[in-house]
Chain A
Amino acid sequence: MSARHPTGAAEAGGSGDAGTGGAGPFLAHHFEDMGHQLETTTLGIWLFLGSEVLFFGGLFTAYGVYRANHPELFRYAHHFLDWRLGATNTLVLIGSSLSAAWAVRAAQLGRRRVLTATLLVTIALAVTFLVVKYIEYSHKLHEGIGWGASCHPSAEILATLPEHARALPVPARLGTFFAIYYLMTGLHGIHVLVGIALFAWIAARAGRGHFGPGYYGPVDAVALYWHLVDMIWIFLFPLFYLL
């Protein structure tokens, strides 16, 4: 029994401007009350997330097609990716989803300091993710691993492969694997960057005391977006780093 309901709009903590549940400065004219606005914006963000699933779905299809036709290529190529960095990033994103969900809870309960703290933690973890990604990308590009026709792994990086992989000749289509890798993780990375910007915006508004039990829709919406970004990585990690 971990669920709790706020005791009542007016009593739920000193969150300043947005304590009231019925109306308020953030009620748009075409909604009846804040509850109506929240329900509607939540549905809106879910529909947008649905479209994002299809957007990435096309890329997962491309992955599926190339893996189905060249499974040995994928089994070979994934060794170029460091699963420890991938796992680290997975845990980083899980942590950031935790802090994002906590931020929503804090907004719902009118706890401004917790809200600000959790938002900042989320941003920090998201930035960490991108830093690790940058390290991975720059290392690969430095070692000649581009995409498509520009994929020529250096001797140094080939030496780091496990023995059974080192024994095999470098596949001619290695560039295709990395094209899909850069495309999918790159698009995901762009979504992380957008998420950071959105959380920064939310944090700024939280600092001005906009959010509370009567108005936390934007926090919830950005957090939902962020959880989807996490979910996509949850699939990308095994598909590229482990299999």
Chain B
Amino acid sequence: MTTAAADAPDRAGSYLAHGRGARSWLLSLDHKRIGVMYLVAIGASLLLGGVFALVLRLNLWRPSGGLVSNDGYNRLFTLHGAVMIFLFVIPGIPAALGNFVLPLQLGAKDVAFPRVNLLSFWLYALGAVLFVATLVAGGIDTGWTLYPPYSLESARGLGILLALGALFVVGFSSILTGLNFIATIHRMRPPGMGWFDLPLFLWALYATGLIQVIATPVLGITAAMGFLERVFHLGLFMPEYGGDPVLFQHFFWFYSHPAVYIMILPAMGVVSEVVSVFSRKPIFGYRFIAMSSIAIAVIGFLVWGHHMFVSGQSRTASVIFSGLTLLVAIPSAIKTFNWLATMYKGAIVLATPMVYVLTFFAIFAVGGLTGLFLGALATDVPLHDTYFVVAHFHFVMVGAVMTAFLAGLHYWWPKMTGRMYSERLGLVSAALTFVGFHLTFVPQFVAGVLGMPRRYATYAPAFAGHNRLSTVGAFVLASGLVVALYGLLRSLRTGRPAPANPWGAASLEWSASSPPPWDNFERTPHAPPGPYDYTGLRHVSDEVGWVRGEVTP
């Protein structure tokens, strides 16, 4: 069964054709279909959040604003943040790509709990509806961080209740996904695949799952407490009822800091996969990368107070948090050097996923390093609430995470759809994204250091140049995303049919056909020699792709 004909995609037998009609998708227990539904929903959230961003940037063209009212501006940046963070960056790679790839990389037929997986998706959808519904209820203008006392005052209207409900629901979705992935990785590995034979994408998803299960419940209880505070005036967070608003911040950031590692760890997992395959070299320092994922997950829980240096937090706590924050750079640096060492003396293939990954390195380095300025107590105080912070987190969330998302999307696109995307369009999108991204956010670092505050609809005229560059950049970045979307969608109709293994990768998902059949593998395959062991893999042709060993006629 290794002839060229058998390797050609059999769309009629794939998961795409297994069952037709809306119900077979919306109620599907197939992790691949759930992954695709997530991809569509997450893509829509990215577009929605992106539109908000473009309106914000247009308003910031003029120092006096004026495109939208100042209140409208506040509502826009609040929803931009909430939608992007909770509906795109946090679920993005695990839900859209992880759901599809994880069982395949394990040679499994599905995740451990398929019904829980479907529930996760519908909770996400409900949460998305609730966030968007806040627009109808008059909107929220508190920033995505929803700090009381402002957010819980009665004058705010009921939008805050919808937002808190959305947080609770989306949080639950995230917990269930993490739980599912952890259980699957523990209990559904194939014969021969021990822990240190796992592809690094799975180590990343595992570490992410640990954070999701441990951190997210605290977000849930915080949302519940905020909700009850607003409705029943319990007196937990509102000083006028005897509460302490700093308490909210502690609870909020206990989740929201580890949440950024929920965002970056899967991105790093994608990078590990792509950098090895497209350097045609085994990953350097496999164990270090694997263990550093766990280290990031654990250390990430110890640093949340660095968001609260100017909130009234005690000096004792601030000093402790600042010191611990500097520690988290270490495992990230370990990964970065290992990736670079992987490329060293490798046979680099500049396909779209690899180009995105190369841009990831440049951007993540800057994003990570600028985090040190914010983690160090003394330098954070003047930089807090300036555009320096905005630029820092966009560097890591957009420049690193979104870039890795696009890398992974292009990398696994042939597997998911059975089509090759156009390399030309992919490379154009990567270039536009890279240029647009820097044009957008580098001026923001400068403006922030010069003192421009964040979350303001208007600003001092001295910052006009920075803001205009940034606005132009935002549209270039948006065009890059549009080109990427266009290229991918176009491939669905006119893309070359993809072979099972178009890239010559060694992990198990590439032994299934592109796209895979409904139940992935007829029999549980044995683990490959190694997830990054390319010996014996040869490229036969573009149609047949890469195969291992002899091809029998």
Contacts and interface: CB of A to CB of B under 8 A. Distances in A.
A40 to B, nearest CB: 4
Nearest to A43: B183
Interface of A: 28-30, 32, 36, 39-41, 43-44, 47-48, 50-59, 61-62, 65, 147-150, 172-173, 175-176, 179-180, 183, 187
B480 interface: no
Interface in B172-193: 175, 178-180, 182-183, 186-188
Interface of B: 103, 108-114, 116, 175, 178-180, 182-183, 186-188, 213-218, 220-222, 224-225, 228, 232-236, 241-244, 247, 250-251, 519, 524
13 contacts: A30-B108, A30-B110, A40-B186, A47-B213, A58-B222, A58-B225, A65-B244, A148-B233, A148-B241, A149-B235, A176-B234, A176-B236, A179-B236
Contacts of B182: 43, 47
Given A43-B186, A43-B187, A58-B251, A173 B214 contact: no
A150 B233 CA distance: 9
B221 A55 contact: yes
B214 A51 contact: yes
Contact of A149 (B175, B225, B241): B241
A36 B243 CA distance: 49
Contacts of B183: 40, 43-44, 47
Given A57-B218, A58-B251, A183-B234, 11 more contacts: A29-B109, A29-B519, A30-B103, A30-B110, A32-B524, A41-B113, A53-B217, A55-B220, A59-B221, A149-B235, A150-B233
Nearest to A69: B244
A51 B112 contact: no
Contacts of A65: 244, 247
A65 B254 CA distance: 15
Classify the secondary structure of B's interface with A: helix
A160 to B, nearest CB: 24
A148 B221 contact: no
Contacts of B250: 61
Contacts of A32: 524
Contacts of B216: 51
B232 A40 contact: no
Given A36-B187, A148-B235, A58 B242 contact: no
Contacts of A28: 114
Contacts of A43: 112, 182-183, 186-187
Given A44-B179, A147-B235, A61 B112 contact: no
A230 to B, nearest CB: 19
A183 B217 contact: no
